[in-house]
Amino acid sequence: MMAILLLLFISIIAILNLIAPAKVFSESENRNLEQMPEFSLDSLLSGKFTSNSEKYVSDQFAFRDVWIGVKSDTDRAMGKKESNGVYLGKDGYLIQQFTPPANGDLEARIEAIHAFDDATPALHKYVMLVPTAVTVLKEKLPAYAPDGDELAYLDEVRQALPGDIGFVDVYPALYDGREQALYYRTDHHWTTAGAYYAYRELCKQMGIAPKGEEDFNVRQVTDDFYGSLYSKSGFRHIQPDRIELYLPKDEGKIAVEYADEGRTSDSLYEMANLDKKDKYTVFLNGNHGLVKIKTNRSDGKKLLVVKDSYANSLIPFLTEHFGEIYVVDLRYYEENLAALVQEHEIRDMLLLYNINTFFEDPSIMNLSELIE
């Protein structure tokens, strides 16, 4: 009887996997899911088709989040401290592993930056690659868990960048302030406090006087945030995170245009998203191909930010210093980026990624393609 029930269960799961439409985005993991790869003889012979097919099956498996939770609870009961690439650290911190880049990946990304730099010689550029909690909070890792040498790769990038690009090293500031909550416990992002530390370091590089903490009202908007690592790992029985906003005491008018949605908001924060699973999207309504921000700063300074989602909680600080900010996410942007710079006479650019995304996401290579 048990064998029949097991066979029936497996059959139902197999049918669901076959008939269920493929999901494009995982809200719980805050990432795009693998889609069915296109078949070609070259991709089959190279092994790429098989590898991508395995990723597709894993990402699209029925009740994926439930199975992750069951597995991690079983592992935790057995004393294991790692699940699906996430460590269960001290003080309830979930910390994502750092995956070193494959051979040639670092060079390819630097080459793309070089190409864009050559195409936009009048643009003052700054690169900020943010170390993640696995490096800054390494003392919270389980015993014998490797930290992945993020700093070594950060240094390789720094040395390989063109000499006219400023490298913004935020690790010392984040490490010195690590006793504060600079990273969420259940999510892979830094907190608004962590973004504020990085904002001050960027201001030093750009020759800008940063706003002091006394210039902001810090407002807690939720204490019930369970982030991407909570979902990805399946670890449960962990305290949720708080999300805080740093709101300027001297608040000016602002217009935020979401080009892909054809709408404009008068706020940098989408407060309705606090009722959703991914509450981090309260910052700039999550990720979009192009967001145009206009402030009431009268000096005419304009900034281009090419970024991943780490930038979303830092950009509000920059509105204190720029009249216009153009925010581009290369995962969703397909227009000519060099033309955007020229059309709007932008003079400053910040490329901001956490180091994991910088090496994992191939869209950074689009920099070399969006110049013609």
Task: Give me the tens of pLDDT residue by residue for the chain, a chain 372 residues long.
Answer: 555 644 554 455 446 455 556 666 665 555 566 676 676 776 666 666 676 666 655 655 555 666 666 666 676 666 688 988 999 999 999 999 999 999 999 999 999 999 999 999 999 999 999 999 999 999 999 999 988 899 999 999 999 999 999 999 999 999 999 999 999 999 999 999 999 999 999 999 999 999 999 999 999 999 999 999 998 888 888 999 999 999 999 888 999 999 999 999 999 999 999 999 999 999 999 999 999 999 988 788 999 999 999 999 999 999 999 999 999 999 999 999 999 999 999 999 999 999 999 999 999 999 998 777
Distances from the Cα of 85 to the Cαs of 81, 98, 99, 195, 362, in angstroms?
10, 9, 9, 24, 20
- Per-residue confidence (pLDDT) for residue 242, from 0 to 100: 98
Token representation of residue 359: 């090496």
Cβ atoms 242, 272 nearer than 8 A = no
- Per-residue confidence (pLDDT) for residue 101, from 0 to 100: 93
- Per-residue confidence (pLDDT) for residue 355, from 0 to 100: 97
Distances from the Cα of 181 to the Cαs of 189, 203, 209, 324, 353, in angstroms?
11, 22, 24, 30, 20
- Per-residue confidence (pLDDT) for residue 13, from 0 to 100: 44
**Which is nearest to 242 in space by CA: 229, 225, 217, 228?**
225
Q: What is the DSSP string of 211-277?
A: PPGGGEEEEEEEEEE--HHHHHH---S-PPEEEEEEEESS---EEEEETTTTEEES-SB-GGGGGSS
pTM for this one?
0.84
- Per-residue confidence (pLDDT) for residue 251, from 0 to 100: 80
- Per-residue confidence (pLDDT) for residue 14, from 0 to 100: 47
- In what helix (H) or strand (E) does residue 199 lie, and over which residues does it extend? helix 192-206
- Per-residue confidence (pLDDT) for residue 35, from 0 to 100: 74
